[in-house]
Amino acid sequence: MPAPRGRLPQGTFPIDRWGISKDDVHVIKDGAYGRPNPTGWAGVTPDGHVIITGEDGEAEDVGHVDQFSNRPLNQFPRPRN
C-alpha cells in the first residue's frame, strides 16, 4: 500500500526515517497492521503516533509507538498521563 492520500499530521515521516533498527520497524508495523509482514506504508508523528494507510486509503492513527514496541524507543516522546 502506498502512503495515505490526503493530509498527514504535520511532521509525520516514514517509520524507516526515524533512525530505529530494521527489527523495530518490523515489530511496530506488524503491530500497527495487526498481522505479520505487512507491505503497507507506516509513518510516525513527532509526538510518537503511528499512522498507517487505512483500508480506504486515508491516514489512520493507530496509537502511540509504545503500544507496538516491547522496549522504549528514545526517538519518540512518552505520552503524558
pLDDT in tens, 26-76: 999 999 999 988 888 999 998 889 999 998 999 999 999 888 887 666 666
Distance in angstroms (rounded) separating the CA atoms of residues 8 and 25: 19
pTM: 0.85
Give CA separation, 16 vs 33, 39, 56, 65, 81, in Å: 16, 13, 23, 13, 27
Which residue(s) pair with 43 in the sheet? 14, 51
Distance in angstroms (rounded) separating the CA atoms of residues 63 and 48: 8
